[in-house]
Each structure stands twice: as structure tokens, then as C-alpha cells.
Amino acid sequence: MTGNIRTFVLMAALTALVMAMGALIGGKGGAIIALIVAGAGNVWAWWNSDKAMLRQQGAHEVSRQQAPELVDMVAALAQRANMPMPKVYILETEQPNAFATGRNPENAAVAVTQGIMRVLNRDELAGVIAHELAHIKHRDTLIMTVTATMAGAIAMLGNMLMFSSMFGGRDDNRGGGFAAILAMIFAPIAAGLVQMAISRAREYEADRIGAEICGKPMALAGALAKISRAAGQVVNIPAERNPASASMFIINPLHALRMDRLFATHPATEERIARLQAMAQGGRNGGPWAAR
């Protein structure tokens, strides 16, 4: 099963969960209403997700005059990837990390932390930026925004179901009450796991395409190793305050405080590095990311 098909199947599962939760609350009508509400939330998220994410993380846009090397690097890689130049942002945190956001390649942004620019060398930083451009080019930022919104809708429906059960809003005959209890406990967990599975699948693909864009798989592999080590030592306060944003970063920014691997939003760094090493050994470097 390809990454795109897997993502489609998992998103269909999220949609089914939304409708099932709505049905438990209000029958067939509730299922339809839940789907409409989730759809409206996705439209809002599609239009506003980039602004919300950047604001949550305290990012500020930089121009070529303010950060010439960084902006020139993004421009060169975007040209190599045959895509529009995204806006460039810097996050005021010492945790080395990066993310991309935006509803499409024409309205996108790449954000890097102060820490990542200090920790990585030039080629490694280029690998990270190429990874984020890959997310933008293949609209992963939109997919992850939609899945996050639907997962949030399922959690909200779970809370509604809990209050409905507490105050006798549904007929408990034929085991309906027991089914409601199971749903309000396990549906949000299942939604979270589906969201994380989608995130993991997209990360592997972004690593592959990012390595092709920058032309140096081992530079991206080295960057992932450095970021992973440092992410567990430096707390990213804005990310900790907004844990739903974790899947947007190149490495889970919550590692400093949350070490539960079952609910990890990213695949194991060791596996990502191993795939990049295999790619480099296979000669799929794609050439230098920019002229020296």
C-alpha cells in the first residue's frame, strides 16, 4: 500500500469515527450533523491553520535583509524543488527543530528555531529545509491540519457523549449505555492513533523527497540525529502549551517532557536514519542542493 493510499484509508477511518460518535449521540441525524460540523471545522482550519500555528509558536517572519543566508538557502532549495518561495520564519526557542505550514504551496511558510541554526551545519540545515519543502509540495501540511481537526472533533464528541450518558440523553436498552461508555473512552484514543499513523507515514515520504531535493541524504540523516538528541534536553515551551502541533515538527518537540513511545507522533529516528542511509548507498543523491 502506497503512502497516499494509506493516508486516504486512515482519513476515511477518522471520518467513520466522527460519524459513529455522532450516531451514538443523536442517531442518524447526529451522524450527519457531526460530519457537517467536522467539515466546517476543516474548512476553517484549511484557511487559518498557518496563521494559528505560527502565532501559537511565537514565530516571526524574517526578510533577506534580516537573515540573508537562511532566506537564500530556502530560495535555492525551493527553486530546485520547482515550487514557489515560501515565507520564512524564526522561532525564539533553543530547541533545534523546524516545521512547515500553509494550505498550499502558494500560501506556505517554513519556520526554523534559533537552536537549529546553531546546532546544524550548512548541509544539515539544507536537508531539514528540504524536508519541510517536501511537506509543502505534497500538501502534507493540509492533510495534517485536517486530521488534527477531525481528531479534535472526535474528542469533543466524546465529551458530549459523556455528558449525554450522565444526564440520560440516550436510551440505555440493548447495551447502548455500555457501548456509549466504550466509545467515549476508546474513540478519542483511536483517533489519536490514526492521526499519529498518518503523521508517521508522511514523515518517511518527506525524508525521501527532502533528501532528493537537497541531494545529500546523509546530511539530513545527520540533522535528524542531532535534533533528536537535543530535543530531549531542551523544553520547547510553546509546543508544550499546544501539544496538538507536535506532528507538524520534523522531530517531536514534546520529547523533553513526554516520552510515551506508543503515542509518538513521529516514526523512530533510528528507522528514518536507516532509510536515508540506504538511500545514500543506493546512489539516489540527486546532486548538490546548490552550487558551491
What are the residue numbers of the active site? 132
101 pairs with which residues across the strands? 109
H or E stretch including 91?
strand 87-91
H or E stretch including 87?
strand 87-91
The alpha carbon torsion through 219, 85, 114, 210 (nearest 10 deg) reads -20
**Length in residues, the chain:** 292
138 is in an annotated binding site: no
CA separation for the pair 231, 259 (Å, rounded): 11
Q: Which three cell numbers stand for residue 260?
A: 510515551
131 is in an annotated binding site: yes
135 is in an annotated binding site: yes
Which residue stretches of the chain are H helix? 3-56, 68-80, 114-119, 122-137, 140-166, 176-214, 217-231, 237-241, 269-281
Q: How many other C-beta atoms can be found within 10 angstroms of the C-beta atom of residue 239?
A: 28
- Going by C-alpha positions, the residue among 92, 26, 13, 83 that lies closest to residue 57 is 92
| Binding site per annotation, positions for Zn(2+) | 131, 135, 203
| Binding site per annotation, positions | 131, 135, 203
